Structure 1
Amino acid sequence: MPQAAITRRRFITIAASGMAIAALGNVRAAWTRDIAPMRWRGSALGAQVSIEIHHPDPRAAMELVDASVHMVRRFERLFSLYRSDSAICELNRSGVLIAPEPDMVELLRAALRLSQLTDGAFDPTVQPLWQCCERHFARAGADAAGPPPQELAEALAKVGYAGLRVSDDRIALARRGASITLNGIAQGYATDRVVELLRRGGLSTTLVDIGEIRAIGARPDGTPWRIGLADADAAGRTFATIDLIDRAVATSSGSGFRFDRDGKFNHLFDPATGRSSARYRSVSVVAATATEADALSTAFSVMSEQHIAELVAARPGLEVVLSNAAGQLRTLRS
């Protein structure tokens, strides 16, 4: 029987088992054996959360659920811009974090490596651009052309990953008024850490989705997990599928968040210009880790196709699916 596609979705699902899994529709899974899953539902990292662990041992399943929830909650206290008491909000308020937690240091170091790799196309310090657009479009009668040039220039002057200083005992923002966002990488990092947890728990065939998707091994029958890439402009429809075995996939699209009705201003900011990117309808990246796939899908959204192709050619194991403004697809592989 052909495999159906699992469509990338915005809420968190961990579907873990040694049993076979097949996708039904775009968000649900059916198991070949009647195993009652252990479930937890809530919200975290700015999204609705649903964690399900399918495991033949109910006690082991419950322990994995509890451990996964605890880990996701801990990351939320570090990385979430939606919590005023998070570590990232404290850094943005004061410009410095003393004795930061190791996960914050690890993630920021990964962010800086990926910033260097993409020549700054991925940049965690673009938060002032978000704030500039948010303030502008919150005003009554906001100009559809976007923030005034002077306001945009002032925000852009605060952007630049070179001004983010990270060490084991201190994180600092060198530019006055600078702030960071980890929305283009934190979900990937959380996915990778949960994968590590589930591997330690003995799971060898699992699909984890915490905003980004990563497969542990193949499906129990040895075939790849098949992931459907959602059409940004047509809910419930996919435009391509990707097969995963021990790989991760992440997708970025300007339609994920729009400041204005026409969608000219979205969350994918080009750190070089301060403007939102409209190069592609969507960018999907397959990589060894969800952290890398997440950050690169963000970076590639503002990069030219030629620049993307050059980076892919130089970095083994990458696969990129570009959907241009007209909906035409191109796949790049290293």
Structure 2
Amino acid sequence: MNRQLRIANRKISHVPPLSRFGRSAVAGEGLYYWLTLFLLIPSFSKATELPMINLEGEAQGTTYHIKYRDERQRNFKKEIDSVLITIDKCLSTYQADSEISRFNRSEMHKFEWPYFYPVLKKSEVVFRETNGAFDPTVMPLVEAYGFGPKKIRLTEPINIDSLIQLVGFQKISFDSLSIRKLKKNIRLDFNGIAQGYSVDVVAEFLESKGIDRYMVEIGGEVRTKGQKGEGQVWTIGIENPLQPGKMLTTMKLVNRAMTTAGNYRNHYESNGQTFSHIINPKTGSMEQSSVLSVTVFAPDAITADGYDTAFFVMGLDATKRFLAKRKDLDVYIVYTGEDGQPKTFITEGLKN
């Protein structure tokens, strides 16, 4: 008999978060999004079914859950932990000696680890295709609003006009070997895309070992391949943004990735004002929108992760127009209608 396992990601207080590394404060996110996974654990009534390997751990200020089937029953936890630690050393703004932190303090940097350039390149693609709704140079605004590593809380208004001068992906130049600033004091924050990238790196590691049936989840970002069991697909739950901790719906995820952005988790109040982690890099303001959460489905997790907060910033109508030309992407958007009631928009690719 099958039974359900509910896995709710928790903040691990003793692990330095990567701005939760994947729900960053950019229009590229600062949210550590709690995605609830409903994973049906198969019975092993068929003698030919391979036992499931289950790995769990802590990384990047959050938890991970990885499931796969392997004829050789190999346990790759040690190797996966090593990969995730190395990604932190490259992309974590919470580590003062990471590659990205050292670049933020300098004017030019030659890449050391193989992770910086792919994330930078993908960021450029999403920045251009969304007309700047996603922009990893938003770090000065992220810190000013109190969502950076220092976790300050605003007591006085910030000078948006001054800070917005330090934002703009066009103010950096890079190739596959190095990156340099075209304007002083530009700083990067990959927290809106790096956790999705981490999921892809782990998925590709498993595939390099001959694993073709897996589910990789880090901090709520998910990618799957193959069937979970005989006649079974991976089933993932989407959290209700109006009732955090409760499932809104479930979706079948087949050879695809899924990530979510929302502003109902990572926020704080100061002097009667609510500050949200989702910042519009084009205006410098905290985003006020009818959109409550955006879940993006894409071929890989870095793509889904890059677009989810961009769509949040763009709003429902602009996102619909964008997706009319992008059949490789699907979305499940929860928003507040004109009557004040929650509504959903689902692309055709998910309705089947």
TM over 0.5: yes
Partner of 2:233: 224
The structure with more helix, counted as a fraction of residues: 1
State whether residues 296 and 305 of structure 2, in contact with CA within 8 Å, keep that contact through their aligned partners in structure 1.
Answer: yes
1:5 to partner: Cα distance: 8.7
Partner of 2:333: 322
State whether residues 263 and 276 of structure 2, in contact with CA within 8 Å, keep that contact through their aligned partners in structure 1.
Answer: yes
CA distance, structure 1, for counterparts of residue 54 and residue 346 of structure 2: 38
Task: Give secondary structure in 2 for the equivalent of 1:255.
Answer: coil
1:285 to partner: Cα distance: 0.4
Partner of 1:213: 222
State whether residues 298 and 328 of structure 2, in contact with CA within 8 Å, keep that contact through their aligned partners in structure 1.
Answer: yes
1:275 to partner: Cα distance: 1.2
CA distance, structure 2, for counterparts of residue 210 and residue 41 of structure 1: 9
**C-alpha offsets along residues 148-197 of structure 1, whole Å, 9 cap, x if unaligned?**
4xx11111110111112221221122222211111110011111111111
State whether residues 250 and 293 of structure 1, in contact with CA within 8 Å, keep that contact through their aligned partners in structure 2.
Answer: yes
State whether residues 208 and 215 of structure 1, in contact with CA within 8 Å, keep that contact through their aligned partners in structure 2.
Answer: yes
Task: Give secondary structure in 2 for the equivalent of 1:105.
Answer: helix
Task: Give secondary structure in 2 for the equivalent of 1:328.
Answer: strand
Partner of 1:138: 152
CA distance, structure 2, for counterparts of residue 123 and residue 106 of structure 1: 15
Partner of 1:41: 57
Partner of 1:113: 125
5 Å matches for 1:137-216? 138=152, 142-143=155-156, 147-148=157-158, 151-211=159-219, 212-216=221-225
5 Å matches for 1:19-168? 26=37, 30=41, 32-33=43-44, 39=55, 41-42=57-58, 44-49=59-64, 55=70, 57-58=72-73, 60-61=74-75, 64-134=76-146, 138=152, 142-143=155-156, 147-148=157-158, 151-168=159-176
CA distance, structure 2, for counterparts of residue 31 and residue 76 of structure 1: 34
1:39 to partner: Cα distance: 4.5
1:29 to partner: Cα distance: 6.3
**C-alpha offsets along residues 206-252 of structure 1, whole Å, 9 cap, x if unaligned?**
11102310011232224432111112342331112222100000000
TM-aligned CA distance change 1:288 to 1:241, over 3 Å? same
Q: Percent identity?
A: 26
State whether residues 46 and 80 of structure 1, in contact with CA within 8 Å, keep that contact through their aligned partners in structure 2.
Answer: no
Runs (5+) with no aligned partner, structure 1: 13-24
State whether residues 114 and 295 of structure 1, in contact with CA within 8 Å, keep that contact through their aligned partners in structure 2.
Answer: yes
Scaled by the length of structure 1, the TM-score of the pair is 0.83
**C-alpha offsets along residues 4-36 of structure 1, whole Å, 9 cap, x if unaligned?**
696774679xxxxxxxxxxxx856764534959
2:285 is aligned with 1:275: yes
CA distance, structure 2, for counterparts of residue 10 and residue 252 of structure 1: 16
CA distance, structure 2, for counterparts of residue 131 and residue 107 of structure 1: 21
Q: Which runs of 4+ in 1 moved over 6 A?
A: 5-8
Aligned letter for 1:41? G
- RMSD between aligned residues: 3.0
Q: Which has the higher contact order (CA 8 A, sep 6+)?
A: 2
Runs (5+) with no aligned partner, structure 2: 13-35, 45-49
1:125 to partner: Cα distance: 0.7
Aligned letter for 1:221? E
State whether residues 81 and 89 of structure 1, in contact with CA within 8 Å, keep that contact through their aligned partners in structure 2.
Answer: yes
State whether residues 216 and 246 of structure 1, in contact with CA within 8 Å, keep that contact through their aligned partners in structure 2.
Answer: yes
CA distance, structure 2, for counterparts of residue 164 and residue 11 of structure 1: 33
2:255 is aligned with 1:243: no
CA distance, structure 1, for counterparts of residue 70 and residue 317 of structure 2: 45
Scaled by the length of structure 2, the TM-score of the pair is 0.79
